[in-house]
A and B are shown apart, each in its own frame.
Chain A
Amino acid sequence: MGSLVLVVRLGLADVRRHRVQAVMLLLAVTVATATMALGLSLRGVSDALYEQTRAATAGPDVVALSGVTGPAQTSALAALADDPDVVAHQGPYRVVYADLATRDSLTSHVVVHGFAETPGSVDRPLVTSGRWLRPGGAVLERGFATALGVGVGDHVTIAGRSYPVVGIAVTAATSIYPWAAQIGPYGGPSDSTGLAWMTRADAQALASSRDLPVTMALDLKLRDPAATESFIDAHPVPLTLHSWQFTAEQDMVILRNSQPILVVGSWLLGFLAVTGVAALAAGRAVEQTRRAGLLKAVGATPGLIATVLLTEYLALALAGDALGLVIAHLTAPAIASPTASRIGDAAGPGGATVVTATVLAVAVALLSTLRPALRAMRTATVTALSATAHRPRHRPWLTALSALLPTPLLLGLRLTARRPGRAVLQACSTATTVIGIVALLIIGAQPERGYGLDGSSALPNLRDEHDRRVMLAVTALLVALAVVNTITFTWTTAMEARANMAVARTLGATPGQISMGLSTAQLLPSLPGALAGVPLGIGLFAMFALGKWTLPPSSWLFGAAFATLVATAALTALPARLAARQPVARALSAETA
């Protein structure tokens, strides 16, 4: 009991004393777990939103699409409606392929479903604003209307004729916007297409007025909604049959790129979290070792020392994990449903997602504290009580080489060599950031094909936009963590080397040279990191990219690497300047205390 009180008390006291480090660990873990949880729960959220839309709209179990209209298709549709496995149906109804234009001159392909003014028992679109059909008016699918910026009361022109928009509705019978057509006219491929409903008479009039392509569709409710596969297998051509499971799966198409961006992004964010927190922990190693020494002196066992050190980090990491999962839960509907074609509330991340995110959080805590914890445990009590900064190895060749260099470079090179492990972490941190930036540049360089007629980008490509937004958010988080890391690395290096830098100043080095030396110490490992980040970013993108993609000009990529180095130099300037201006006497006496 006493030990538990002690562990909690020491942990809380340490958090109070090192608030910045605690907040940094908390935020880093929150960001990494939220991103991972989002990436892993996209499918679940998408499925949940489809399920809720399906429940709210009496969504069909199977939709039969004729592709073409003819006697064979008509009789096949009639036979389907009478099938003993079918308990209810709606249709057959016309599907008219047309073009739509808004007052703002946005144009798009549209499929018009000819529906009854009073919806039947299957496929009852849920009106989210306005009203259901009336003669002469059109109801637009919500995802389509949102993309067009059209609301109730506006007019749209379909196949050259103006219709007032009397309502906005959602349905589970078709895929989300812009894949509402499901199949193109005459069974061919479909372009990006929105959905509108008209009365049967209006749809018929529309089709005949311009001789537009028309197909037929039939919505079916089965006795066993789960048995769609066997039902479809039992009814081969001439119809195309789409199960509700197929439609739900199609909803994921818009998220196919977002998922790897988020999951891979969470790995990178997790890595940056580990490097940043490990650097902070290393900077406190002497203090932690001393504290371990005094705890040992008053009777704490090595196991208790490790528990004290790890509990604090684990508790913070688990708090960050919980926060990340809550953020993922709150933001998942917006990320998983970029089109407004679905309704409902997303359930929280599933059990597997919670476990995976928690494993990530625990891994960040363990990886960043294991080394100081082991060192504190293993160091002899007397040595621990008088712990001083780790003495670097003597490297005569490096000393001789650096002696030939200008003072800032000499100091930078020697500072880098003092902590080769930290230099590697700094290089990896920079490479990770550049990987994110390179991926963002590649996504930005892809040719844009909008959802408007003939690929007009006046109606933007929601999927590409969504990918860009997600990638931008992940890259922004990567850059934010990298900024914190760079400042941490610089400050930790400065604090550890303050006695040596003070000695250098007594020998005539100016604060400016010390400051430049500290910045150089961060830039030296950042240079290979930035250069390695470019091919690594391209490789990682290639690994997860779907379909063909083009590489941006190499000047963009290496420009990004160069900009990262300039930003690193700028970021290190302030902490380096602050550290370099500390009074020499104080630094020397602190070391000998």
Chain B
Amino acid sequence: MNEPSPVVEVRGLVKDHGERQGRVRAVDAVDLEVPQGQTLAVMGPSGCGKSTLLHLLGGLERPTGGEVRLAGRRVDTLSERALARLRRRSVGFVFQAFHLVEELSAAENVELPALLAGRSRREARRSANLLLERVGLAGRARHLPSQLSGGQRQRVAIARALANEPLVVLADEPTGNLDTAATLEVLRIFEDLRSAGQTLVIVTHDERVSATADRLISMRDGMFVDDTRMVGSGIGSGTGSGWLGGLVGLEG
């Protein structure tokens, strides 16, 4: 069977930080293809270049060498303005530290990308309400981030990432600041996204998260050292919530 066409395509990607003697290679000649609908987990020790790779894929940083394509379109040569437009329409980010606008309510945070994309206020609000319902926060739409738990904040961030139906959702340690119960909530949402055919790239330290992926890449010193296709991964392939509960340590 043919693989779906890649949403993310990377060739010879290099990223250096610092200058002269202080120069450090964070990403070292990496090639990668992520097909439509795949959930890719990238694991590795701290400082191995996982987050930098994610930033390069989403156009938050510019590579030192190589090229990045999203849906076939080369993005590493785009202007800052064009990159911003690309991010608002094609990429959804989920950060470890949530990065919500503290003075806006949950719904207003979710509306941000839609408004940036030029959608009307009414349309943006309708879409935000649907997304909050999807992540189980319909009753928290008017709450400020400070009134939400860590897990709830991360779910708001995921809803925000989905606001413009992006080609790919890039998640950087999405459960890094969460307790077990909150991690379970987030994993359930990722599983829903996976089932719906959403392309996901998740950088994580957490094996519980990587266990839900279709594919696992291990990184070390800026390079890929292992690329494994997972068989029978995901909640659906296990024993339902019991399987996931076991995965996150809620059941023995």
Q: Is the CB–CB distance between B114 and A2 below 8 Å?
A: yes
- In the bound complex, how far is the Cα of B111 from the Cα of A1, in angstroms? 13
Which chain B positions have C-beta within 8 A of A296?
60, 84, 87
Instruction: Contact check, B103 vs A302: say whether CB atoms are below 8 A apart.
Output: no
Question: B50: CB under 8 A from chain A?
Answer: no
A179 CA to B50 CA, complexed, in Å: 85
Could you tell me the distance between the alpha carbons of A380 and B100 in the complex, rounded to whole angstroms? 18
Whether, in the assembled complex, A5 has its beta carbon less than 8 Å from a beta carbon of chain B, the answer is yes
Q: Interface majority SS on A: helix, strand, loop or mixed?
A: helix
A398→B58 CA distance, assembly (Å): 43
Q: In the complex the two chains form, what is the Cα distance from A7 to B108 in whole Å?
A: 12
Contact B101 A13 (CB under 8 A): yes
A299 touches B101 (CB 8 A): no
Q: A300 to B108, Cβ gap below 8 A? A: no
Q: Is the CB of B61 within 8 A of A302?
A: no
A335 to chain B: closest CB distance in Å?
A: 41
Interfacial residues of chain A within 1-42, with CB under 8 A of chain B in the complex: 1-3, 5-6, 9-10, 13-14, 16-17
Select which of B81, B102, B124 is within 8 A of A301 by beta carbon. B81
Known contacts A9-B108, A382-B55; A304 and B101 CB within 8 A of each other: no
Contact A300 B81 (CB under 8 A): no
Output the residue of B97, B100, B164 with the most chain A CB within 10 A. B97
User: Which chain B residues border A10 with CB–CB below 8 Å?
Assistant: 101, 103-104
- A293 neighbours in B (Cβ, 8 Å): 99
Expressed in whole angstroms, the Cα–Cα distance for A381 and B115 within the complex equals: 20
Contact of B103 with A6 in the complex, beta carbons under 8 Å: no
CB pair B88–A299 under 8 Å, yes or no, is yes
Of A6, A297, A303, A385, which one neighbours B81 at CB under 8 angstroms? A303
Cβ of B112 under 8 Å from chain A: yes
**B230 within 8 A of partner (CB):** no
Chain A: number of interface residues, binned into ranges: 20 to 34
| Range for the number of chain B residues in contact with chain A | 35 or more
**A290 proximity list for chain B (CB < 8 A):** 99
Cα A35 to Cα B123 in complex, Å, equals 46
Distance in angstroms between the alpha carbons of A297 and B55 in the assembled complex = 10
Contact check, B101 vs A302: say whether CB atoms are below 8 A apart: no
Residues of A within 8 A of B190 (CB): none
**Cα A80 to Cα B81 with chains together (Å):** 79
Chain A residues whose C-beta falls within 8 Å of the C-beta of B89 in the assembled complex = 299
C-alpha spacing A332/B80, complex, angstroms: 51
CB nearest to A294 among chain B residues: B99
CB-based contact A297/B87 at 8 Å: yes
Known: A5-B115, A298-B87, A382-B55. A16 touches B103 (CB 8 A): yes
| Closest residue of B by beta carbon distance from A9 | B108
Contact B85–A385 (Cβ < 8 Å): no
Question: Is B205 among interface residues, defined by CB-CB distance under 8 A?
Answer: no
B positions within 8 Å CB-CB of A: 55, 58, 60-61, 80-81, 84-89, 93, 95, 97, 99-104, 108, 112-121, 124, 160, 164
